[in-house]
């Protein structure tokens, strides 16, 4: 079964609009971490934001925020006031215990294109 | 070093040859991951190291693929008898191992099998 599901293979959004990228996850462990990464066409993987399973508040980093709904097991990334430079692949990942270590598990990604 | 270093950055090889890809993780990072990424696609998990051991090798696509890590540091991914479908970018990442520890990625090795 998929551990991390990103249901939107691609999205087109008008510049300056807000955009929500979906991510749902599956784990039975109470301790886990959720990450979002951005991969522009240059290929580098850029860490954006982190949410811990015990965090009471939704994580925010500048224009990025994470809409964490624990009961629904969703961790959607919200980008406010999108910019042309936000065009990239976006990956959601989860770290959960594996033999007391925490392995990263990745979603398939969403390709976001910002239109001028 | 300051970041995860991968070498070579580009490799063109003939079908049937063996190749070795190297990853030098961030000092002190005990977890190391290898991924494969085809153009415009997601990350395909290959193998995960914790120290020198590999608790998860489930992603290696065939017995032509192997990886090792020595001294809890440098890792090499070896592909024997390369095939054209092995052409991809091979990404290495390292991290500490607590829940909140982000993974740091290298720039990748672009492998082209001709």
The tens digit of pLDDT for each residue in B33-58 reads: 999 998 878 888 899 898 998 878 88
For A106, the closest of B43, B97, B100 (CB atoms) is B43
Q: Which of B33, B38, B49, B100 to mutate: most A Cβ within 10 Å?
A: B100
Task: Name the DSSP letter for residue B86.
Answer: G
Q: What is the pLDDT of residue A1?
A: 59
Largest interatomic CA distance in chain A: 47
For A52, the closest of B41, B45, B100 (CB atoms) is B100
Burial A13-28 (b: 16+ CB within 10 A, else e): beeeeebebbbbbebe
Q: Per the structure block, which two tokens stand in for B84?
A: 């054209």
* pLDDT tens track for A40-69: 998 889 999 999 999 989 999 999 999 999
d(CA A12, CA B90): 28
Q: Where are the extended beta strands (E) located within chain B?
A: 5-7, 10-13, 19-24, 31-37, 44-50, 53-56, 65-69, 75-79, 88-95, 104-105, 109-113
Contacts of A111 in chain B (CB under 8 A): 40
Contacts of B31 in chain A (CB under 8 A): 101-103
CB contact under 8 A, A108 and B42: yes
pLDDT at A2 over 80: no
CA distance B87 to chain A (A): 16
- Lowest average pLDDT, out of A16-20, A111-115, B68-72, goes to B68-72
Q: What is the pLDDT of residue A29?
A: 87
CB contact under 8 A, B107 and A43: yes
CB contact under 8 A, A91 and B42: yes
A42 close to B88: Cβ distance less than 8 angstroms = no
- Residue B31 to residues A34, B61, B65, Cα–Cα distance (Å): 17, 21, 19
Q: What is the pLDDT of residue B57?
A: 84
pLDDT at B67 over 80: yes
Q: Which residue of B has its CA nearest to A6?
A: B42
Q: What is the pLDDT of residue B73?
A: 93
Q: What is the pLDDT of residue B2?
A: 78
- Residue A65 to residues A96, B63, B102, Cα–Cα distance (Å): 21, 42, 17
Contacts of B33 in chain A (CB under 8 A): 104
First to last CA, chain A: 38
């Amino acid at each position: 079964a998929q551990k991390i599901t990103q249901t939107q293979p691609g999205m087109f959004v008008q510049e300056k609009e807000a955009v929500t990228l979906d991510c749902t996850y599956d784990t039975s462990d109470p301790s886990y971490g959720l990450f979002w990464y951005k991969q522009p066409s240059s290929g580098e993987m850029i860490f954006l934001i982190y949410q811990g399973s015990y965090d009471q508040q939704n994580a925010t980093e500048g224009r990025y925020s994470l809409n964490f709904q624990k009961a629904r097991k969703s961790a959607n990334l919200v980008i406010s006031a999108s910019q042309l430079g936000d065009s990239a692949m976006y990956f959601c990942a989860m770290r959960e215990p594996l033999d007391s270590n925490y392995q990263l598990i990745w979603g398939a990604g969403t390709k976001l294109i910002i239109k001028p | 070093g300051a970041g995860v270093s991968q070498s070579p950055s580009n490799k063109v090889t003939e079908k049937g040859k063996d190749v070795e890809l190297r990853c030098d993780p961030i000092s002190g990072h005990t977890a190391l991951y290898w991924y494969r990424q085809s153009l415009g696609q997601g990350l395909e998990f290959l193998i995960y190291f914790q120290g020198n051991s590999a608790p998860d090798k489930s992603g290696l696509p065939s017995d032509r693929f192997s990886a090792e890590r020595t001294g809890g540091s440098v890792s090499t991914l070896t592909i024997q008898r390369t095939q054209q479908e092995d052409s991809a970018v091979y990404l290495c990442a390292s991290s500490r191992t607590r829940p909140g520890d982000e993974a740091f990625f290298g720039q990748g090795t672009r492998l082209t099998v001709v």
